[in-house]
């Protein structure tokens, strides 16, 4: 059996469904009811109906076939439930319940050996040929298809081309919430939790072939077989950008990580080096993970050919910040050709700075702005453009025109603007759908561009080697 | 005359007002019409009415007295206009027009000596006893009183206690837009531009006495007399937190800064050291400037007494990130007292991690959550709390109760949550009005807490010395 049947089931059962809306067993049903088109079953021996769905007393009693089980029962009964699912022919399971390897590692409860429990779960799943996401996970979302998680709020996710895979459900949530806040689409969000028999390498292989995913973001605490992950990452990164946020720079997290998903955080630096060697982009915060995934998804068809950046700004101050950030990140200020300089001098009045960084303060004419953007884009000495815009996008830099310039010249064009979010969300989405990533501050935009340049260089090295 | 009359005028004139809505001269009038309660005059010899206000041909013709002039005429006529204002008895001016010292420095136009122009402007202002914000500025906003800028969008700012003073209007905008996006209130936003006769030190002195401001954020490119700034900063920082974002880490920005507001960016490291010695908190991005100003404003009544932080999280993954960030920032994981440990063991089931960092995954009971927060807050070994919350604030951590805990124990309590912004803005504002800063990612929250701890230590050192 294949992970595809886990991510695209026709029928789903929630075992441990609840009618108490504070419980995960209720929220899981809500996630499905609001958005899943297939057959939904719920199992709870003590309740008759949940959210309008008749409850069965056990999985066995369900009349039709079931592809995927979402299991939210106490850890002591997970194994019998999985056994029952196996007998029923269920092909995959999401086990939200905790109390497995992570509980054993923390020795939180001497009466229960979580590690042993997980081993038995793995053996059972192996016998049944059943793929298990978790245990100890929030679940997963295949956007537009199924929300197999305890977070119905994810039914508000837009469909997009970035997949997020996290060891922690919490970090998956942070990433997906950012996407919702920014109007960015995602393809899949997967919380791996304790990784009973679906590891990072398995998901990477699945996502490598997933036509809906063009970029993969990962959050990793620590795993048992890092080499398998690196091998998979190296192969996948040749086809799609992979970004990794490996936590655990300090020793203080070791214990916490162990008792989270049952794995040591491991040597941060070793992971970091191994990822870079495998062609994986590494980052150091949730925000950087999101910003990097966004630029790699939107600009992979126009990777910069070098490090020479042109900066254009509606105001000098943010232009200076862009310069500072780009240069400290290893980029170079592009030197404009004589032709470009001549044209800019003709186009722009003396009060404007007509060299790179171009300061267009006081130019309040959209046609002129566009001509400058096109002139700079056409310069062979420019590998990428980054623009700071103080105003509403429609005022000087209309999304359609900017998208057109980005497409015509095939160079990455990054837009930085912190204009009040709700007043520009529509235009921001238009820009990003057209391949122009938008960032809320000049620093974030510049950092993302640095990441893109590094990725492009890594790609060139790999091809050359 | 005093800056107070600039920031709180009874009557204002826009000279160079325009009826073309793409022009700054129109936007300045719009900023006033929408929100200023005093008398508004507009001057434009070629137009009869602008936004319902009768236009005068010159400042002289205005019948009543005028406190403040907002000047948006071409640079060649700024001096005669200021002269006329002086004769009319105008007490202060905002000169938005560029083409002064910054233009000369860049040698962008040989036909005009911007430096000389600015010297003559300064002399004229000196004679007339007129305070000038600018030239080459976006203006200023005294929130709730007057928006003397070309950005009517700032009429949407909430009134608060943070003042932002920037050398660049662009950076002022980034800061104010962030405040609008986050529902954070500001007291004043001031773009100093070329600082004809109102320098950073003057504004700092004014804000020191301003009862509406409890925290000051600054953006600095470079100034001519850094010592005067440092002297003022040292004095002001004793009474109110001051945060500075000094740009110019790379040499590439030197030229750009010079031709922006006519000042060299100067040695970044010298500034940084001098600021720290003066008791000023330094940061390295717009986001950090905003995040630091927020925590310093909201938590100045409960500065932490040491570096021992307690971490509580609805999910282990973000708890691990908080640990990583706090520890790498120099904080220590608090060791709970025996009493606290005993109480947590009694309160929490085995599946929870009952040591610091406390992992409360699977606890979905608000009363229990609150009791844990109170128990940890009461521990003498804990100097500050930081909480990651995956869910809507009302689910497990109701704002009223959290604010009450923060008040009862007098320890800083930081909340991190990236829950979809529009779904929790009301609760976020409630938390922040109650002194509990809310951050969108664990990394940002932890960084802000590190800043608060550093500030508290600086305060203790200053008192001890």
pLDDT, tens digit (0-9, with 9 covering 90-100), for B409-464: 999 999 999 999 999 999 999 999 999 999 999 999 999 999 999 999 999 987 75
Q: Say which DSSP state A221 is in.
A: S
Nearest-by-Cβ selection for B320 from A181, A221, A353: A221
If one counts every other C-beta atom within 10 angstroms of the C-beta of residue A109, the result is 15
Peptide bond into A368 cis (omega under 30): no
Q: Which chain A residues are Cβ-neighbours of B446 within 8 angstroms?
A: none
What is the rounded CA–CA span in Å between residue B14 and residue A332?
42
Three-state SS annotation for chain B: CCHHHHHCCCEEEEECCCCCCCCHHHHHHHHHHHHCCCEEEEECCCCCEECCEEEECCHHHCCCCCCEEEECCCHHHHHHHHHHHHHHCCCEEEECCCCCHHHHHHCCCCCCCHHHHHHHHHHHHHHHCCEEECCCCCEEEECCCEEEECCHHHHHCCEEEEEEEECCHHHHHHHHHHHHHHCCCEEEEEECCCCCCCCHHHHHHHHHHCCCCCEEEEEECCCCCHHHHHHHHHHHHHHCCEEEEECCCCCCHHHHHHHHHCCCCCCHHHHHHHHHHCCCEEECCHHHHHHHHHHHHHCCCCCCCCCEEEEEECCHHHHHHHHHHHHHCCCEECCCCHHHHHHHHHHCCCCCECCCCEECCCCCCHHHHHHHHHHHHHCCCCCEEEEECCCCHHHHCCHHHHHHHHHHHCCCEEEECCCCHHHHHHHHHHHHHCCCCEECCHHHHHHHHHHHHHHHHHHHHHHHC
Is the CB of B250 less than 8 angstroms away from the CB of A324?
yes
Interface test with chain A among B252, B262, B307, B391, by most A beta carbons within 10 Å: B252
Chain A CB contacts of B364 under 8 Å are 22-24
CA-to-CA distance for B424 and B412, rounded, in angstroms?
21
Contact A177 B420 (CB under 8 A): yes
Of A249, A353, A443, the CB nearest to B328: A249
Which residues of chain B does A320 touch, with a Cβ-Cβ cutoff of 8 Å? 168, 221, 247-248, 253, 256-257, 260, 265
To the nearest whole angstrom, how far is the Cα of B56 from the nearest Cα of chain A? Answer: 25
Instruction: Determine the Cα–Cα distance for residues A234 and B273; give it in Å rounded to an integer.
Output: 44
The answer to whether the Cβ–Cβ distance between B317 and A171 falls below 8 Å is yes
Contacts of B350 in chain A (CB under 8 A): 103, 108-109
Contact residues, chain B, for A321 at CB < 8 Å: 171, 247, 286
The terminus-to-terminus CA distance of chain B in angstroms comes to 36
| CA B144/CA B212 separation, integer angstroms | 11
**Cβ contacts from A onto B, under 8 A:** 230
* pLDDT, tens digit, 9 for 90 and up, residues B105-133: 555 455 568 889 999 999 999 999 999 99
Which of A153, A168, A362 is nearest residue B98 as measured by Cβ atoms?
A: A362
Are A162 and A184 in contact by the 8 Å Cβ rule? The answer is yes
Long-range contacts, stretch B374-378, CB < 8 angstroms, 24+ apart: B374/B405, B374/B408, B374/B409, B375/B340, B375/B343, B375/B344, B375/B347, B376/B310, B376/B312, B376/B336, B376/B340, B376/B344, B377/B405, B377/B406, B377/B408, B377/B409, B377/B411, B377/B413, B378/B340, B378/B409
Yes or no, beta carbons of B351 and A109 under 8 Å apart: yes
ipTM, two decimals: 0.95
Which chain A residues are closer than 8 Å to B317 by Cβ?
166-171, 219, 221, 247, 260
- For residue A328, list chain B residues with Cβ-Cβ distance below 8 A: 249-250
Inter-chain residue contact A443 with B287, CB threshold 8 Å = yes
Q: Which of B177, B351, B364 sits opposite A99 (nearest CB)?
A: B351
Level-2 CATH architecture, domain A1-137:
3-Layer(aba) Sandwich (3.40)
Indicate yes or no: CB of B24 within 8 angstroms of CB of A364.
Answer: yes
Fold of the B1-136 domain: Rossmann fold (3.40.50)
Closest to B204 measured CA to CA, from B115, B122, B155, B275: B275
Q: What is the pLDDT of residue A445?
A: 98
Residues, chain A:
465
Residues of chain B positioned with their CB less than 8 A from the CB of A390 = 170, 173
Chain B positions in Cβ-Cβ contact with residue A357 (cut-off 8 Å): 256
pLDDT at A465: 45
H/E run at residue A393: helix A393-396
Residues of B in contact with A421 (CB under 8 A): 181, 421
Beta strand B49-50 pairing with B53-56: antiparallel
pLDDT of the residue at A461: 86
CB A71 within 8 A of CB A42: no
Q: Which one of A390, A440, A444 has the shortest CB-CB distance to B170?
A: A390
Q: Between the CA of residue B194 and those of B166, B174, B220, B223, B270, what are the distances in Å?
A: 11, 19, 12, 9, 22
| CATH hierarchy code of domain B302-464 | 3.40.50.261
Which residue of B175, B263, B324, B450 is the best one to mutate when testing the A interface, meaning the one whose CB has the most A CBs within 10 A? Answer: B324
B402 contacts B435 by C-beta, under 8 angstroms? no
Within 8 A of A365 by CB-CB distance, chain B residues are 22
Which residues in B lie closer than 8 A to residue A353 (C-beta atoms)? 106, 108, 256, 259
Look at residue A449 and give its three-state secondary structure: helix
Min Cα–Cα distance to chain A from B371, Å: 18
- From B366's Cα to the closest Cα of chain A, the distance in A is 10
pTM, whole model, 2 decimals? Answer: 0.95
Fold match, A157-298 / A301-464: yes
Residues of A in contact with B171 (CB under 8 A): 317-318, 321
| Tokens read off for B162 | 């943070």
Residues in chain A with CB shorter than 8 Å from the CB of B99 are: 351
SS3 readout for A265-306: CCCHHHHHHHHHHCCCEEECCHHHHHHHHHHHHHCCCCCCCC
**Minimal Cα–Cα distance from B314 to chain A, Å?**
8
Q: Which H/E stretch holds residue A232?
A: helix A226-237
pLDDT tens, chain B, 465 aa long? 489 999 999 999 999 999 999 999 999 999 999 999 999 999 999 999 999 999 999 999 999 999 999 999 999 999 999 999 999 999 999 999 988 888 765 554 555 688 899 999 999 999 999 999 999 999 999 999 999 999 999 999 999 999 999 999 999 999 999 999 999 999 999 999 999 999 999 999 999 999 999 999 999 998 888 899 999 999 999 999 999 999 988 777 766 666 666 665 567 888 889 999 999 999 999 999 999 999 999 999 999 999 999 999 999 999 999 999 999 999 999 999 999 999 999 999 876 788 899 998 878 899 999 999 999 999 999 999 999 999 999 999 999 999 999 999 999 999 999 999 999 999 999 999 999 999 999 999 999 999 999 999 999 987 754
Cα angle value A8/A12/A14 (rounded, 5°): 135
Query: Which residues of chain A have a CB within 8 Å of the CB of B222?
Result: none
Q: Å from B65 to nearest chain A CA?
A: 30
Residue extents of the structural domains in chain B? 1-136, 157-298, 302-464
Please say whether the beta carbons of A419 and A454 come within 8 A: no
Partners of residue B261 in chain A, C-beta under 8 Å: 316
Closest residue to A170, CB basis, from B247, B261, B388: B388
Could you give the count of Cα atoms lying within 13 Å of A233 in the half-sphere of its Cβ? 27
- Answer yes or no: do A320 and B247 touch at CB < 8 A: yes
Residue with tokens 């081993």: A119
Residue segments in chain A with a per-residue pLDDT below the cut of 50 = 1, 108, 110, 465
* Most A CBs within 10 Å, among B117, B313, B316, B423, to test the A interface: B316
- A253 vs B323, B361, B443: nearest CB: B323
CATH 3.90.1150.10 fits A157-298, yes or no: no
Q: How many angstroms separate the CA atoms of B398 and B428, rounded?
A: 10
Residue (of A387, A401, A393) closest to A315 by Cα position: A387
Are residues B431 and B393 in contact, defined by beta-carbon separation less than 8 angstroms? Answer: yes
Alpha-carbon torsion (B442, B320, B363, A70), positive or negative: positive
Are B31 and B155 spatial neighbours (Cβ–Cβ below 8 Å)?
A: yes
Check CB contact under 8 Å for A24 and B364: yes
Indicate which of A166, A317, A448 best probes the interface with B, i.e. most B CBs within 10 Å of its own CB: A317
Name the residue in chain B with its Cα closest to that of A324: B250
- Asked if the Cβ–Cβ distance from A351 to B103 is below 8 Å, we say yes
Per-residue DSSP letter, A74? -
Alpha carbon distance B362, B391 (integer Å): 12
Q: Which site among A72, A170, A417 would you substitute to test the B interface, given the most B Cβ atoms closer than 10 Å to its Cβ?
A: A170
CB contact under 8 A, B170 and A252: no
- How far, in Å, CA of B432 to CA of B426, rounded? 10
B198-to-A336, A444, B165, B192, B193 alpha-carbon distances in Å:
37, 32, 12, 7, 10
Q: Which among B168, B333, B420 has the least Cβ separation from residue A180?
A: B420
A301-464: CATH topology: Rossmann fold (3.40.50)
- Say how many C-beta atoms besides its own lie within 10 A of residue A76's C-beta: 11
How far away is chain A from the Cα of B337, in angstroms, using its nearest Cα?
Answer: 19
- B442–A286 CB contact, under 8 Å: yes
Candidates B106, B253, B364; nearest CB to A353: B106
Q: Could you give the CA distance from residue B438 to residue B432 in angstroms, rounded to a whole number?
A: 7
């Amino acid at each position: 059996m294949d992970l595809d049947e886990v991510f695209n089931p026709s029928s789903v059962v929630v075992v441990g469904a609840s009618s108490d809306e504070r419980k995960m067993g209720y929220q899981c049903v809500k996630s499905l009811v609001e958005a899943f088109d297939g057959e939904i079953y719920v199992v709870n021996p003590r309740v008759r109906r949940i959210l309008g769905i008749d409850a069965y007393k056990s999985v066995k009693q369900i009349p039709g076939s079931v592809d995927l089980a979402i299991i939210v029962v106490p850890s002591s009964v997970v194994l019998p439930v999985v056994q029952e699912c196996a007998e029923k022919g269920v092909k995959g399971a999401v086990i939200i319940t905790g109390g497995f390897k992570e509980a054993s590692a923390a020795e939180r409860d001497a009466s229960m050996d979580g590690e042993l429990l997980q081993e038995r779960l793995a053996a059972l799943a192996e016998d049944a040929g059943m793929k298990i996401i978790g245990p100890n996970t929030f679940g997963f979302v295949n956007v537009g298809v199924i929300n197999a998680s305890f977070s119905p709020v994810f039914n508000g996710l837009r469909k997009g081309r970035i997949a997020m895979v996290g060891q922690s459900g919490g970090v998956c949530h942070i990433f997906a919430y950012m996407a919702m806040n920014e109007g960015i689409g995602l393809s899949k969000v997967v919380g791996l939790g304790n990784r009973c028999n679906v590891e990072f390498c398995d998901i990477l292989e699945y996502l490598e072939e997933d036509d809906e995913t063009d970029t993969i973001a990962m959050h990793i605490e620590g795993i048992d077989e890092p080499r398998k992950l690196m091998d998979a990452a190296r192969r996948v990164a040749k086809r799609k950008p992979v970004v990794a946020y490996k936590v655990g720079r300090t020793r203080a997290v070791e214990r916490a990580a162990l008792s989270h998903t049952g794995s040591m955080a491991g040597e941060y630096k070793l992971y970091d080096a191994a990822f870079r060697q495998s062609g994986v982009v590494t980052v150091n915060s949730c925000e950087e993970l999101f910003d990097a995934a966004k630029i790699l998804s939107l600009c992979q068809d126009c990777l910069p050919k070098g490090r020479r950046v042109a900066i254009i700004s509606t105001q000098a101050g943010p232009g200076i910040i862009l310069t500072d950030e780009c240069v400290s990140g290893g980029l170079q200020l592009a030197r404009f050709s004589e032709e470009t300089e001549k044209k800019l001098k003709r186009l722009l009045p003396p009060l404007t700075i007509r060299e790179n960084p171009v300061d267009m303060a006081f130019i309040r004419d959209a046609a002129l702005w566009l001509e400058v953007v096109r002139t700079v884009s056409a310069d062979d000495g420019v590998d990428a453009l980054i623009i700071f815009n103080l105003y509403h996008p429609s005022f000087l830099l209309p999304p359609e025109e900017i998208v057109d310039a980005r497409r015509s010249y095939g160079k990455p064009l990054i837009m930085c603007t912190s204009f009040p979010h709700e007043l520009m969300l529509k235009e921001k989405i238009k820009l990003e759908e057209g391949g122009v990533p938008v960032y809320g501050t000049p620093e974030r935009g510049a950092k993302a561009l640095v990441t893109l340049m590094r990725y492009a260089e890594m790609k060139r090295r790999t091809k050359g080697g």
